[in-house]
Structure 1
Amino acid sequence: AVVVFTQAGPDGEITAEEQVQMLLDAKLQCLHTVSTHDLAVDVCPAEWDGLICWPQGSPGFLTKVPCPRYIYDFNHEGYAYRRCEFNSSWVLGEGLNKTWANYTECIKSPGPNSERQVFFERLHIMYTVGYAVSFGSLLVAILIIGYFRRLHCTRNYIHMHLFVSFILRAISIFIKDRVVHTSAGLQEFDALLMNNLTNTVDVAPVNTSQYIGCKVTVLLFIYFLATNYYWILVEGLYLHSLIFMAFLSDTKYLWGFTLIGWGVATANHLSPPIPIFCILNTCTH
């Protein structure tokens, strides 16, 4: 039987991470189900084809299963079809060494999704330009403070640390988008489905080493995001120290503030396990 997953969220929308996670869950459940069933003779074997967990097929007959609900963009009222040959093997696609399946009824009209895709692409361009302008402006500010010796003081050193944290945040966002948004988003996933639904879709085996780069990228993004707020806190603490504790050493303050700005964020984000949902490009060969 095919395991049915409910769609995510009260608003009816799901993220790319949730879509790929649903697909991976369905694959694992299918492999477990297939491994626990007795192997029957003279039938086409139950298997996972990349999208659907196909049951055993009777030779000479067409096997029909509902379009999976864990694929958000599918028409969930339709069916997918596969033919079992008389030699107890699934029909191969013409000119391909792959099993064939008909997903025609599962394809939705792409109109609304295309509009939403255009909106998110424009939004992505807008915030990328914004972070790029911020990156350039902060870099110029750091160069100015570093070049003029008259500006070298504890207050400006704290400002420089704050600027650096925002620069690193911008860099981490650029890298994060490159790793987990552009390379393996729903756009590529949908394009793959549209190009291959008339034949077959093959999902490569899951390799846990693929998660490492994604986890490191997202972890650094979360860390630099946290350092922004800690350095804003440091700015407030320094202003408080100027008003109420002016007799203490500025140099001693700077080391303590540096520890707060960079060190506390490290302790907070490395001590507990962080649930990071990474998009993996599992739909390409």
Structure 2
Amino acid sequence: GHAYRRCDLNGSWELVPGNNRTWANYSECAKFLTNETREREVFDRLYLIYTVGYSISLGSLTVAVLILGYFRRLHCTRNYIHMHLFVSFMLRAVSIFVKDAVLYSGSALEEMERISEEDLKSITEAPPADKSQFVGCKVAVTFFLYFLATNYYWILVEGLYLHSLIFMAFFSEKKYLWGFTLFGWGLPAVFVTVWASVRATLADTECWDLSAGNLKWIIQVPILAAIVVNFILFINIIRVLATKLRETNAGRCDSRQQYRKLLKSTLVLMPLFGVHYIVFMAMPYTDVSGILWQVQMHYEMLFNSFQGFFVAIIYCFCNGEVQAEIKKSWSRWTLALDFKRKARSGSTTYSYGPMVSHTSITNVATRGALALHLNTRLIPGSLNGHRNLPGYVKNGSISENSMPSSGPEQYNKDEEYLNGSGLYDGDRPTVLVEEERETVM
């Protein structure tokens, strides 16, 4: 298309009536706006996909962090690293929502939509922009890139931790936890700060959401390096698992069963290691209207947004230790609630002056011996209200008669990690609750 201006009789460009601006006709350029409708539909669909995905991931990860933080018996180095990874996924989701709210709503969006086809007929030049109005979106983009980088690096930390458990004979978990923490949160802060400083100095134009030439590699190279290293660790761990399966199951099961176990282990590790990043990592972005670009973006938005949900399901909700702790807590709560209900309906209080006597009046005629047994169990409880309650388990501890003892010595570290990942099918301690209901029925 072409833009047109007209000369007046004096040989100067014709001005816009009532405005000291040069008139220009951009109507032929407006036909290129028709493709924006199709592109807008694609972007709206992508926005819906990752908004739903990140919302589901954020909710499930929040529940997972609360569970791992509430139960003290789940506090260990492996779960601490899981919690850091969960938090990085949560911050990534929140930063995306904040970035979208700042960049694509409010005054910035209204200013973009104000340019219509009719406006193009009289636009001459863009007014100078005030850089102060872009401070908010610059901060939002910077934090988004930081939390995006920390998410990739905590995925790498998970790979390094699992690799260390398998290949290092002596591995001090507490000693390396601080190093992993600095690596996961500190290293991304370094290269994101360098990028922000260089961008503010050399390419401080509007919001920083658009690429500024080769400056993008300051952030992309460390992220791509983390993806490649994590993929190498993933391949090496799968190789070791396949070797161990062949050695331990030699002559005991057919090859198909071994392949099924290896496939299960591989599928469990894929969300943790972010293997899906490798698929389109080396593929450059093409035209928005191209089919390949749309396939790539739909794939990335779907898996990236739901990755946190998959990780929370596999490494928290399907974890045997987590399920055992939840069942124990639920059993204690229901047992205490049931006992309180039976105590209120099956006993009454008679007061004689300053003395108080608790006497059972339920089925005294037919079950006198049982009522007597109940009284002998309950009367000493006035000295210690919970000591002799049947089936009572002290909060934060486990009764010797109701729960089997389980400690760090029950698993070695690599089997414990694989158990939490669904890769190790060893014997898990069975939760037994002896309620002694015959004394309160």
Q: TM-score range by the shorter chain?
A: 0.5 to 0.7
* CA apart distance, 1:211: 4.4
Check if 1:81 corresponds to 2:5. yes
Structure 1, 131-140 or 171-180: larger mean CA deviation: 171-180
Query: In structure 1, how many angstroms separate the alpha carbons of the residues matched to 2:111 and 2:97?
Result: 19
**8 Å contact from structure 2 (residues 165, 171) kept in 1:** no
User: 1:191 & 1:207 partners in 2: Cα distance?
Assistant: 18
**2:183 corresponds to:** 260
Residues 6, 13 of structure 2: 8 Å contact kept: no
Distance 1:126 1:146 in 2: 30
**1:196 is the counterpart of 2:131:** no
Q: Write the distance in 2 (CA, Å) between the matches of 1:158 and 1:278.
A: 38
Contact 1:227 1:261 in 2 (8 A): yes
Name which of 92, 101, 113 aligns with 2:16. Answer: 92
Instruction: Tell me, yes or no, if the aligned pair for 1:169 and 1:224 is still in contact at 8 Å.
Output: yes
TM-score, normalised relative to structure 1? 0.59
Deviations 1:134-163 (A, max 9, x none): 111111111111122221111111101001
Would you tell me which structure has more helix in proportion to its own residues?
2
Query: Relative to 1, partners in 2 of residues 1:84 and 1:138: Cα closer, same or farther, differing over 3 Å?
Result: farther
Match of 1:138? 61
Structure 1 unmatched ranges of 5 or more: 1-75, 281-285
**3-state secondary structure, aligned to 2:5:** strand
Q: Matches of 2:206 and 2:104 in 1, distance apart? A: 8
Distance 1:119 1:240, change over 3 A: closer
Please tell me whether Structure 1 or Structure 2 has the larger radius of gyration of its CA atoms: 2
Given candidates 129, 151, 160, the residue that maps to 1:237 is 160
Residue 46 of structure 2 corresponds to residue 103 of structure 1:
no
SS at match of 1:102: coil
Tell me the residue number matched to 2:144.
Answer: 221
How far, CA to CA, are the matches of 2:83 and 2:138 in structure 1? 28
Structure 2 unpaired stretches of 5+: 208-441
Distance 2:193 2:11 in 1: 56
- CA separation in 1, counterparts of 2:124 and 2:10? 23
User: Could you tell me the percent identity over the aligned residues?
Assistant: 52
What does residue 80 of structure 2 align with?
157
Taking the aligned partners of 1:222 and 1:174, their CA distance within structure 2 comes to 13
The alignment covers a number of residue pairs equal to: 202
What amino acid is the match of 1:219? T
Q: Which whole-Å CA distance do the structure 2 matches of 1:120 and 1:278 have between them?
A: 24
Distance 1:264 1:89 in 2: 57
Q: Which amino acid aligns with 2:99?
A: K
For residues 164-179 of structure 1, the aligned pairs below 5 Å read: 164-179=87-102
Question: Secondary structure of 2:4's match?
Answer: strand
Q: Helix, strand or coil for the counterpart of 1:91?
A: coil
Compute the displacement of 1:107 (Å): 2.0
Structure 1 residue 259 displacement after superposition = 0.8
C-alpha deviations, 1:221-254, integer Å up to 9, x for none?
2221111121112112222333344644432221
What is the SS of the residue equivalent to 2:131?
A: coil
Counterparts in 2 of 1:229 and 1:140: CA distance versus 1, 3 Å: same
Following superposition of structure 1 onto structure 2, how do residues 114-125 of structure 1 map, counting pairs within 5 Å? 114-125=37-48
Work out whether residues 215 and 278 of structure 1, in 8 Å CA contact, stay in contact via their aligned partners in 2: no
Q: Report the CA distance shift for 1:114/1:271 in structure 2 as closer, same or farther (over 3 A).
A: closer
CA apart distance, 1:101: 3.0
Structure-1 residue corresponding to 2:49: 126
1:274, distance to aligned residue in structure 2 (A): 5.3
